[in-house]
Amino acid sequence: MNIVVVGSQWGDEGKGKLIDILSEHSDITVRYQGGNNAGHTVVVGDQEYVFHLLPSAILHKGKVCVIGNGVVVDPKALLKEIDDLARRGIKVGAQRLKISGHAHVVMPYHRILDGLRESKRKNKIGTTGRGIGPCYADKVSRCGIRIIDLLNPRVLKSKLDDNLREKNEIFQKVFNTRGFSFRGIYEEYLGYGKKLSPYVCDAALYLNDALDHKKSVLFEGAQGTFLDIDFGTYPFVTSSNSIVGGLCTGSGVAPTRIDKTIACVKAYTTRVGEGPFPTEFASSLKNEIRTKGNEFGATTGRPRRCGWFDSVLVRYSVIINNVHELAIMKLDVLGDLDKIRICTGYKYKGKICKDFPMDFEVLSNVQPIYEELDGWKTDISGARTYAQLPVNARKYIERLEKLLKVGVKYISIGTKRSEIIIR
């Protein structure tokens, strides 16, 4: 079976754990968008692994991981991940990792531009500063450098020369700062190309051939639906399509070859950076949940904003991603609360909104309508079946199912691989 896992909130939903579990039963795992601005955390025994570019399936022996054309790749960051795993006894060879030659490369000037543009904005976006947005901008502007270009000295020289002339002029005339020298970057990135060359292939051909031979493929999205460049809370979004549609353009696999979409959601809501957040907690509860849920970004370390579950938000994600099953993550974090709220609608200027609003101003000023349920006030990390969960925990899950109109298949009740219930 070919499955895609998408985040259905603002990212950080716990996709890494779910993908780690599902990838054990898939032949190939594909990352199809984003860059090293995303982070997946996987806990195996007493070992914690954080991935920014590599699919977390790399932890499973014999599984193939693919970085698709929709990903923007910082080669320095990728090689560091590979080296870090090698030091921990996990070898990443060319048989286990495939990188699309069509994937675009994050260059040093992208990272600098990212920071400079953010510093000039009156309303901050909350970028990670990893150069992801400027890299995607160059891709769309048809001046980007691709992974395959790193293997061709002549092509790299020509593209880099053109880019640096333009970028250095921007640095000097717009931002009043120094630009980059050609030689240092050229030699550095040629070196990256030599190290990455064994992994480079036409990933679209590789994946479709694998599907023709009945291999099972798992597609992992980064970020979440509401960080999608088209459907997210624009402009506080990422620079790629993080919804299920992004897997087709980001991998070269047609939608008819996908069997199932699983939406990953937290039992509450979080987001990093700026932007509207109707159900955000008051400070005291925010700090309590942030501490218990370890709500700090895997990529930046930034504290995440926390709030109640927003069913209006997630229902919209269920619709546009055609979700077949839900995975509820971090249910255990709510275990100390007397009462738990679910947002079931919004109120704006005296009118009830049941659908997620397109208008940024409306979303920024809505008042959430809450439904309150009793908490379960107990540690649930030892449960291994749905029946072993407290009655109130099951009532919470079943209310979410009714509101979202889709069933919950997976329930995470802790950080470890074993701490998950499969219904």
Give dist(CA 46, CA 353) in Å, integer. 46
CA 305/CA 283 separation, integer angstroms: 10
**In 10 A of CB 194, how many CB atoms?**
11
For the chain, the farthest-separated pair of C-alpha atoms sits apart, in whole angstroms, at 66
What's the confidence (pLDDT) of residue 120? 72
The 3-state secondary structure of the chain reads CCEEEEECCCCCCCHHHHHHHHHCCCCEEEECCECCCCCEEEEECCEEEEECCCCHHHHCCCCEEEECCCEEECHHHHHHHHHHHHHCCCCCCCCCEEEECCCEECCHHHHHHHHHHHHHCCCCCCCCCCCHHHHHHHHHCCCCCEHHHHHCHHHHHHHHHHHHHHHHHHHHHCCCCCCCCHHHHHHHHHHHHHHHHHHEECHHHHHHHHHHCCCCEEEECCCCHHHCCCCCCCCCCCCCCCCCCHHHHHHCCCHHHCCEEEEEEECCEEECCCCCCCCECCHHHHHHHHHHCCCECCCCCCECEEECEEHHHHHHHHHHCCCCEEEEECHHHHCCCCEEEEEEEEEECCEEECCCCCCHHHHHHCEEEEEEEECCCCCCCCCCCHHHCCHHHHHHHHHHHHHHCCCEEEEECCCECCCEEEC
Which of 12, 138, 149, 332 does the annotation list as catalytic? 12
Map tokens 């590789």 to a residue: 206
CA–CA dist 250, 70 (Å, integer)? 4
Q: What is the pLDDT of residue 117?
A: 82
- Indicate which residue of 20, 40, 110, 332 is catalytic: 40
User: Would you state the pLDDT for residue 284?
Assistant: 83
**Does the annotation mark 12 as catalytic?**
yes
Low-confidence spans in the chain with pLDDT less than 50: none
Match 């009118």 to its residue by tokens.
Answer: 351
Are the C-beta atoms of residues 295 and 303 closer than 8 Å to each other?
yes
- Could you count the other beta carbons within 10 Å of the beta carbon of residue 61? 9
Per-residue b or e along 291-307, where b marks 16 or more CB atoms closer than 10 Å to that residue's CB: eebebebbbbeeebbbb
Cα–Cα dist 282/290, whole Å = 12
- CB 210 within 8 Å of CB 217: yes
- pLDDT digit string, tens, across residues 231-280: 999 999 999 999 999 999 999 999 999 999 999 999 999 999 889 999 99
149: CB partners within 8 A, 6+ apart: 105, 155, 156, 159, 193
Report the pLDDT value the prediction gives residue 299, as an integer from 0 to 100: 65
Phi, psi of 30 (to 5 degrees): -120, 130
pLDDT, position 180: 93
Q: So what's the pLDDT on residue 144? A: 97
Do residues 408 and 327 touch, judged by C-beta distance below 8 A? Answer: yes
Over the stretch 95-146, which tens digit does the pLDDT of each residue have? 999 999 999 999 999 999 988 887 777 676 767 788 999 999 999 999 999 9
Q: What are the chain's domains?
A: 3-99+200-261 (3.40.440.10), 104-195 (1.10.300.10), 266-422 (3.90.170.10)
Residue 273 is predicted with a pLDDT of: 85
Neighbours of 391 (CB within 10 A): 9
**Phi then psi for 421, rounded to 5 degrees?**
-105, 130
